């Protein structure tokens, strides 16, 4: 069995029996095209592809594919892999207590449903999560919306008796202009190998100045589909220690981001069992760019530093208002024969 990831101009080929699910990126208003597979719409403008059809990113796997819907989650699975998408409108979840905000309640309930599905499908290991929420840097109820999201997510991890530091999935949390809280995830039956960046404080150890609950994700993770090793590098930005560097300078932020990506690849190769080492040039990358006017600078700066690897740029907000760019990366290698 093998896990594969591909990106192409949007064409619904869901009749293929190997599609687990994926993402549609770009011009998807007023509604994304209808596809049969679990689809997370990334309601963000493609940069450098204005007027083009949306990009379709799919995860595919060998083996018989089963499909279902559970508590609003559309999912597909094989014997060893599970991909799902859930979107919830804010305010659709009842607060658990008087001081729980609508976004906090929605993120808590969404993650509770996600963990219910993993238990029911007996694929309990959460490897990678993509979180998209509207107006991520805005403040309401006296607290930034990203910090409200973190409160709800953390509560669901605690309720499910899951670790909130250390053994936590790779993830990103990205801001879009509008829309429901949207979460896609990839899970399996084998535990992940969490990776942390020696240049950075682990996100789940952030000091209280970044909110009442630290974010629940690892900087990167290795996961092991049968016969393979997958590297998922979480959304990575110009942060050293726990502080943003190069405020207002998008090119410098790009360069610092790549230093952090390099550090994560080095950590991955220390722990990896794959037949050959991971390298930035062998990964695929997605850059979230806060200001569309910075797109050319971001691409010109990143592309050579990433060794010419595939790079998709979209306009989106990032979890800190002073961050101008964030990059996530992934790659899959074969394991050597046993």
Find out whether the peptide bond into 145 is cis, omega within 30 degrees of 0. no
Given a cut of 90, whether residue 17 has pLDDT beyond it is no
235's torsion region: left (phi>0), alpha (psi -120 to 50) or beta?
beta
Q: Rounded CA gap, 3 and 254, in Å? A: 30
Q: Rounded CA gap, 6 and 241, in Å? A: 34
Say if pTM beats, i.e. exceeds, 0.75.
Answer: yes
Structural domains in the chain?
A: 3-334 (3.30.1330.40)
Q: Rounded CA gap, 286 and 44, in Å? A: 12
Supply the pLDDT for residue 29.
65
- The model's pLDDT over 143-187, given as tens digits with 9 standing for 90+, comes to 999 999 999 999 999 999 999 999 999 999 999 999 999 999 999
Closest C-alpha among 247, 151, 135, 265 to residue 198: 265
Q: Rounded CA gap, 319 and 217, in Å? A: 13
For residue 27, what pLDDT band results from cuts at 50, 70 and 90? Answer: low
Element (H, E) at 302: helix 295-305
Query: Is 256 a catalytic site residue?
Result: no
Phi and psi angles of residue 147, each rounded to the nearest 5 degrees, phi first: -70, -30
Q: In Å, what is the CA distance from 303 to each residue of 135, 251, 290?
A: 28, 12, 18
8 Å CB contact between 237 and 321: no
Closest C-alpha among 131, 127, 123 to residue 107: 131
Supply the pLDDT for residue 113.
98
Q: Rounded CA gap, 311 and 309, in Å? A: 6
Please tell me which residue in 100, 256, 326, 328 is annotated as part of the active site. Answer: 326
Given a cut of 70, whether residue 104 has pLDDT beyond it is yes
- For residue 281, the 8-state DSSP code is G
Give SS3 for 173. Answer: strand
Q: Rounded CA gap, 215 and 174, in Å? A: 13
């Amino acid at each position: 069995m093998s896990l594969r990831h591909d990106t192409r101009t949007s064409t619904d080929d869901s009749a293929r029996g190997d599609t687990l699910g994926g993402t549609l990126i770009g011009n998807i208003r007023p509604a994304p095209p209808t596809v049969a597979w679990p689809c997370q719409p990334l309601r963000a403008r493609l940069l450098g592809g204005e007027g083009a059809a949306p990009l379709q990113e799919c995860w595919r796997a060998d083996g018989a594919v089963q499909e279902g819907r559970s508590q609003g989650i559309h999912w597909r699975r094989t014997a060893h892999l599970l991909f799902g998408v859930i979107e919830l409108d804010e305010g659709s979840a009842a607060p658990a207590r008087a001081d729980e905000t609508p976004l906090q309640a929605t993120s808590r309930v969404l993650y509770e449903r996600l963990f219910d599905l993993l238990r029911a499908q007996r694929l309990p290991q959460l490897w990678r999560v993509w979180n998209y929420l509207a107006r991520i840097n805005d403040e309401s109820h006296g607290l930034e919306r990203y910090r409200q999201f973190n409160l709800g997510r953390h509560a669901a991890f605690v309720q499910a008796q899951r670790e909130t530091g250390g053994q936590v999935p790779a993830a990103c949390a990205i801001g879009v202009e509008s829309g429901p809280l949207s979460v896609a995830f990839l899970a399996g039956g084998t535990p992940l190998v969490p990776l942390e960046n020696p240049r950075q404080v682990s996100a789940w150890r952030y000091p209280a100045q970044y909110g009442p609950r630290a974010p629940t994700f690892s900087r990167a993770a290795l996961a092991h589909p049968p016969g393979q090793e997958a590297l998922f590098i979480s959304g990575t930005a110009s942060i050293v220690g726990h502080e943003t560097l190069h405020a207002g300078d998008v090119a410098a932020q790009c360069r610092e981001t790549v230093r952090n990506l390099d550090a994560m690849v080095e950590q991955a190769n220390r722990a990896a069992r794959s037949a050959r080492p991971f390298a930035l040039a062998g990964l695929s990358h997605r850059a979230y760019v806060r200001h569309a006017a910075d797109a050319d600078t971001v691409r010109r700066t990143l592309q050579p530093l990433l060794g010419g690897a595939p790079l998709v740029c979209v306009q989106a907000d990032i979890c800190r208002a002073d961050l101008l760019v964030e990059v996530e990366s992934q790659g899959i290698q074969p394991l050597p024969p046993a």
